Amino acid sequence: MLPIVTIVGRANVGKSTLFNRLTKKRSAIVDDIPGVTRDRLYASIEWDGRNLVLVDTGGFDPSQKGTMLNGVKRQVEMAIEEADLIILLFDGRAGPLLDDEELLMLLRRSEKKVVYVVNKIDSPEQEHLSLEFYSLGMDKVFPISSAHGYGIGSLMGQVIRDLPAIEQPHEEEDRMKIAIIGRPNVGKSSLINRIIGADRLVVSELPGTTRDSVDISFERGGKSYLLIDTAGIRRRARVKERVERFSIIKALKAINRCHISIILLDSLAGVYDQDARICGYGLESGCGMVIAFNKWDLIKDNPSSIRSLEDSVDRQLRFVSFVPRINISALTGERVRGLFKLIDTVWAQYSLRVSTPAINRALEDIVKRHPPPSIGGRRPKFYYATQVSVYPPTFIIFVNYPDSIHSSYERYLVNQFREQFGLNLIPIKIFFRRR
């Protein structure tokens, strides 16, 4: 296990900005609205030759109540519990507040190693703003600016010195990446919590609980996986908040970087136009897909609800009829084990490599049975084909007139390749090149 460094603090003190500064990428959404980060975000970083896991947390606010805020508070407490070292971030412009003292008391009870940091100190001339934090009883505070990088080197030097000595593992490059995609409030976070057997993500009945894309590594049945939980994808007309626009962009990026996306739908609500659009995003990206109908426990004993669901599937999802489907319940765990059997089946096809001789024998047979039509007096002639990549299986066919391949004949070739090579559950890609 890599050492875990967790950033905690009140809302809007700059935790996500520091997280982005240290990871050198915009993996956390940053905005002036307090409470943007709700779940814990993880990232592996290297600093001065030392590898560690950095964790961003939601803003700690013990005074506010409600299911959502209690969930965020619990996430912060769990992040503290699993940390090897904690960065407690203060707002240098606001000065010490009562909530800072309560969080400080919580950390002292945890008996974890803590580095105290005063943020929003942009230059040496402003370092005097950090002095009043010594009134909270710390031996040393580090004045920094997450936004501009001031003082980051000194801070991380202390962090590295205080980290426990832990053997560094080799990163596993070929693990399967699975994104959980869907409209808001269909149960994405509940499904991940069910899969990993822990309250790893904030779960709420309020739509839009998850805003960032959250990566979670875990093992199941001796196999290593990376789960990506994403924000709910709303219709564009309903996306009003700037933060939510960023969340949707990150969800779409998650589709593009995953191997397999689980498109999660609400069995009780049926299939919406937006569900079909999300399936379209997955199809365009070329990722493997599994369509999972969640909340099946609410309709499985109601024949009329099942018929209504089947009718909406026939209307909206005919264009992805090859994608395997499964009915599950994240709440009860029903058929979640079967979901992973289906994922493994899709993965076997998604990562398949076909030998070049087998491809060309199949191509010769396919073209012989149904030759391509002539376009503009030119009939395409196929010479040979080869597979150039996996994830998904991608083929190049060399031909005399690539521009003369009609779209209908291209669809015919795609369908025939999928049938010939047992790729019936995934999309494949075929490109035409002049010899």
84-102 pLDDT per residue, tens: 899 999 999 999 988 888 8
| Residue 428, CA distances (Å) to 209, 283, 284, 418 in order | 34, 10, 11, 7
Element (H, E) at 114: strand 113-119
| Distance (Å, whole) CA 360 – CA 175 | 31
Contact 208, 215 (CB under 8 A): no
Whether 4-162 shares its CATH topology with 176-350 is answered yes
- Chain segment 134-148, per-residue pLDDT in tens: 988 888 999 999 999
- Chain segment 310-358, per-residue pLDDT in tens: 999 999 999 999 999 999 999 999 999 899 999 999 999 999 999 999 9
Which residue, 291, 233, 282, is CA-closest to 257? Answer: 282
CATH pick for 4-162 out of 1.10.10.10, 3.40.50.300, 3.60.20.10, 3.40.640.10: 3.40.50.300
| Distance (Å, whole) CA 50 – CA 261 | 33
pLDDT of 258 higher than 50: yes
pLDDT of 404 higher than 90: no
- Exposed, middle or buried, 428 (CB in 10 Å: 0-12/13-18/19+)? buried
Using DSSP bridges, classify how beta strands 4-9 and 85-91 pair: parallel, antiparallel or unpaired.
parallel
Q: What's the average model confidence in pLDDT over 21-28?
A: 67
Cis peptide before 143 (omega within 30 of 0): no
**188-192, 240-244, 254-258, 311-315: range with lowest mean pLDDT:** 240-244
| Distance (Å, whole) CA 74 – CA 60 | 10
In DSSP notation, 215-250 reads EEEEEETTEEEEEEE------GGG--SHHHHHHHHH
pLDDT of 214 higher than 70: no
| Distance (Å, whole) CA 378 – CA 405 | 10
Domain 176-350 sits in CATH at 3.40.50.300
Q: Report residue 68's pLDDT band, with 50, 70 and 90 as the boundaries.
A: very low
Where do the structural domains in the chain lie, given as residue ranges?
A: 4-162, 176-350, 356-434
Is the Cα dihedral 218, 334, 269, 292 positive or negative? positive
Q: Give this prediction's pTM.
A: 0.60
pLDDT at 202: 46
Q: Report residue 420's pLDDT band, with 50, 70 and 90 as the boundaries.
A: very high
> Packing angle between helix 336-350 and helix 188-196, nearest 10 degrees?
90
CATH 2.40.10.120 fits 356-434, yes or no: no
